[in-house]
Chain A
Amino acid sequence: MNTTEYNIIVRQWGPHLLRFANRNLNNMDVAKDVVQDAFEVLWKNKDEIQAEKARQYLFTVVFRKGIDVFRKNKNNVAIEEHHYEIGQMAGFEKQISDKEFVKMAMDALPEVQRQLVLLRDLEGYDYKELEAITGLNESQVKVYLFRARKALKETITTMEAL
C-alpha cells in the first residue's frame, strides 16, 4: 500500500471508523484517539497490508482497542448513569424517537454484542467477516447477535411501556 492508497482509505473509511468507535465507546474524544491509533498501526504496517484488506484490518484494530478501553473503564459509572437517564426519561417517551430508544438500548448491551450489532448494521459485514474481525467463530457470532437483537427488542419494549 502506498501513500496515495493510504490516504484514499483514510478519507473513505475514516468516517465509518469514527462512527463505529463513537457509537461503541459513546465518547467522541476517545473514539478519535482509537481511530487515530488504528490508522497509525495501518501506516506502520502499510507495506504488509494490501489496500483491499485495509478496511477489515482497521475495523479489527478499532474493535480490539474498543474492548481495551471498555476494560479499562469497566468500573466506570458512566453506563450506570446512562441507565439512570433512561429511567428518568421514561416519562418523556413521546418525545423520544425509536431511533433514540435503540441508541440507549445499544449502550446497555455487553461490549462484544454491541460491537457486533454496529458492525453488522452500520457496516454490513457478513458472518465470515465478523468472524475475522472479532476472532469469534461463526456460530458464536450468530449467537451473540441473536442475544443482542433480543436484548435490544426487550429493552425497547420495556422503555416504550414506561
Chain B
Amino acid sequence: MKKMIITRDNYETVMFGLLENEYPADVREDILQQIEADTFLKFEWGQWSKATYSEGLETYKHHEAEFIEGLTKKDNKGGFIYRMIIPMSMAAALALFFLVRSGNESSEVVGPTISKNQVNTIEKSNIEAPLELKPEKKTAEDKETGKFISKEKNINNIDVQYEEPVFVEVQNENTETIKPSWKQMVEDTAALMVKTALAQQTEKKSKYKVTVVHETMNGLAYENTEFQEKKYYTMADVMNHKDGISLSKFLSNPRSKVIKDKTTNSTYIEYLADDNSVLVLTISN
C-alpha cells in the first residue's frame, strides 16, 4: 500500500481527492484515520465533505411528468403515407378530371372535335357511280332504294360501329362528277384527325357517333342537282349554324369503306347506313 501523509500544507488537495474518490480503498481508509486523529483536519474534512451537491429526481419525475411526456414524439410509421395523402388526392382528382374530359371528347369525336372535316350527307343515288363498291353487293341493292336522309325531321341518335376499312379503287371517270366538290372540302389536317379518331375507336372497341348534317336543308344539298352544284357543308359550318344548319343525325349500323381516287389523290371514308343514308368524310386529296 502506498502511504499518503496528510498535512496542513496538502490537506485541501488530499481532501479534494477523497471527495472525488481518487484513492484506493486502503489508502482512503488510512487517510481518514489520520484526519480523525487531528482536530483541525477533522473540522476541515467535515466542511469539505459538505461541498458536494445532491438532489433527488422525484420532483422532476413526478411534478414535471407532463412536460417530459410532451417532449416525446409520435411514432409515425405511416408518415410517408400521411405526407402523400394530399398530393395523391390532388393527383387522383386531376387524373379523374382528365379521364372524364377525355371520355367526353371521345364521345363526340367526329363532332365538334373535327370541325375542319368535311361532313356531308349525300343521297346514295347521287354518288352511285363512285360508290360502286365491291364486293358488297348489298350496297348496290340498297342504293336503288335509297332515301333522302336530309328530309328527315326527327333526330335519330344511333351509334355507328366502326368496321375495318376496305380500300377500293375507283375509276377516274366515276369520280369526275364529284371531283370539284371534294377538292374544295379537303383539308390535310382532317386526315390526321379522322385517323386519330378511328384509331381511338379501334383501341376502345366501342361505338362512336358520326354526326351528319340533315336539318333545315330545304333541298339545298340533297337534291341531285344541288349536289352537283357542290353545296356542301363542313362540320365547322354545322357548328356555326351556317345557312341554318344546326343539327345532326346518326347513322345506324353503317358499313365503312375507304375510297381512294388515284387521279385526284383523294381519300374518302364512306359510311352506308341501314336506311341507305350515306356519309362521306374526305380525309385527303
Contacts and interface: CB of A to CB of B under 8 A. Distances in A.
Interface of A: 3-4, 6-7, 10-11, 14-16, 18-19, 22-23, 32, 35-36, 39, 43, 98-99, 101-103, 105-106, 117-118, 120-122, 145-146, 148-150, 152-153, 156-157
Interface in B65-97: 67-69, 71-76
A156 B61 contact: no
Contacts of A3: 73-76
A18 B68 contact: yes
B48 interface: yes
Nearest to B13: A146
A15 B68 contact: yes
Contacts of A22: 60
Given A19-B60, A150-B12, A101 B50 contact: yes
B76 to A, nearest CB: 8
A36 B71 contact: yes
Question: Is the contact region of chain A dominated by helix, strand, or loop, or is it mixed?
Answer: helix
Question: Is the contact region of chain B dominated by helix, strand, or loop, or is it mixed?
Answer: loop
A23 to B, nearest CB: 6
Interface in B8-67: 12-13, 16, 19-20, 47-48, 50-55, 57, 59-61, 64, 67
B48 A153 contact: yes
Contact of B53 (A11, A32, A122): A122
A117 B51 CA distance: 9
A127 B12 CA distance: 19
29 contacts: A3-B76, A4-B75, A6-B72, A6-B73, A7-B73, A10-B68, A10-B71, A11-B68, A11-B72, A16-B57, A18-B60, A18-B67, A22-B60, A23-B53, A23-B55, A32-B67, A98-B50, A101-B50, A105-B51, A117-B52, A122-B54, A145-B20, A149-B19, A149-B52, A150-B51, A152-B51, A153-B48, A153-B50, A156-B50
Nearest to B76: A3
Q: Which 7 pairs from chain A and chain B are nearest by CB?
A: A152-B51, A15-B60, A14-B68, A153-B51, A3-B75, A7-B72, A149-B51
A18 B50 CA distance: 23
A15 B57 contact: yes
A117 B145 CA distance: 114
A106 B47 CA distance: 15
Nearest to B43: A157
A14 B13 CA distance: 35
A108 to B, nearest CB: 12
Interface residues of B, number: 27
Given A18-B60, A156-B51, 11 more contacts: A6-B72, A6-B73, A14-B60, A14-B67, A32-B67, A35-B71, A102-B52, A120-B20, A121-B52, A145-B20, A149-B48
Contact of A15 (B16, B52, B61): B61
A59 B156 CA distance: 85
Nearest to B72: A7
A67 to B, nearest CB: 19
Contact of B47 (A6, A7, A15, A156): A156
A16 B97 CA distance: 57
Contacts of A10: 68, 71-72
Contacts of B55: 19, 23, 122
B57 to A, nearest CB: 5
A106 B55 CA distance: 12
A3 B79 CA distance: 12
Interface string B255-273: 0000000000000000000
Contacts of B50: 98, 101-102, 152-153, 156
Contacts of A15: 57, 60-61, 64, 68
A22 B74 CA distance: 26
Contacts of A152: 50-52
A118 B53 contact: yes
A19 B57 contact: yes
Contacts of B61: 15
A69 B71 CA distance: 21
A148 B48 CA distance: 11
A7 B52 CA distance: 31
